[in-house]
């Protein structure tokens, strides 16, 4: 069964570090691969990785990262390329949110 991902600007803004964000925006595959496990979802569409924060709201660690990394072991480079495009669109929405036309 293929691993599923859910990319949202809100999720990216709360589980990615600034270097990961900037690297992925610039197409750095290493940064993209570090972000992907944080976007993996289980059969209930819940995120597999849960971020832990310090008192200032900075990330101090993650629960579930090993499980999420194991889920990526079957992913091909071709799929990585497709996911990179989806991720890039969501990353752009972090600092430049889409305007609601309603």
**How many Cβ atoms sit within 10 Å of the Cβ of residue 21?**
17
Domain assignment present for 100:
no
Residue range(s) defining the domain that contains residue 77? 4-92
Q: What is the pTM of this model?
A: 0.85
Residues 62, 30, 1, 89, Cα dihedral to 10°: 90
Domain assignment present for 53:
yes
Question: Is residue 48 within 8 Å of 67, Cβ to Cβ?
Answer: yes
Domain assignment present for 97:
no
Domain assignment present for 102:
no
Based on the structure, what is the number of domains in the chain? 1
Domain assignment present for 66:
yes
Domain assignment present for 101:
no
Domain assignment present for 57:
yes
- Residue by residue, pLDDT tens for the chain (102 residues) are 678 999 998 999 999 999 999 999 888 999 999 999 999 999 999 999 999 999 999 999 999 999 999 888 888 999 998 999 889 888 888 877 666 544
Domain assignment present for 34:
yes
């Amino acid at each position: 069964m293929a691993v599923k991902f859910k990319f949202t600007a809100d999720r990216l803004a709360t589980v990615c570090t600034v270097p990961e964000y900037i690297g992925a925006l610039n197409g750095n595959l290493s940064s993209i691969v570090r972000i992907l496990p944080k976007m993996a979802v289980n059969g209930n569409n819940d995120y597999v990785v849960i971020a832990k924060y310090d008192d200032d709201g900075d990330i101090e660690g993650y629960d579930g990262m090993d499980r999420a990394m194991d889920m990526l072991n079957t992913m091909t480079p071709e799929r990585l390329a497709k996911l990179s495009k989806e991720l890039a669109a969501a990353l752009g929405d972090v600092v430049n949110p889409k305007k609601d036309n309603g």
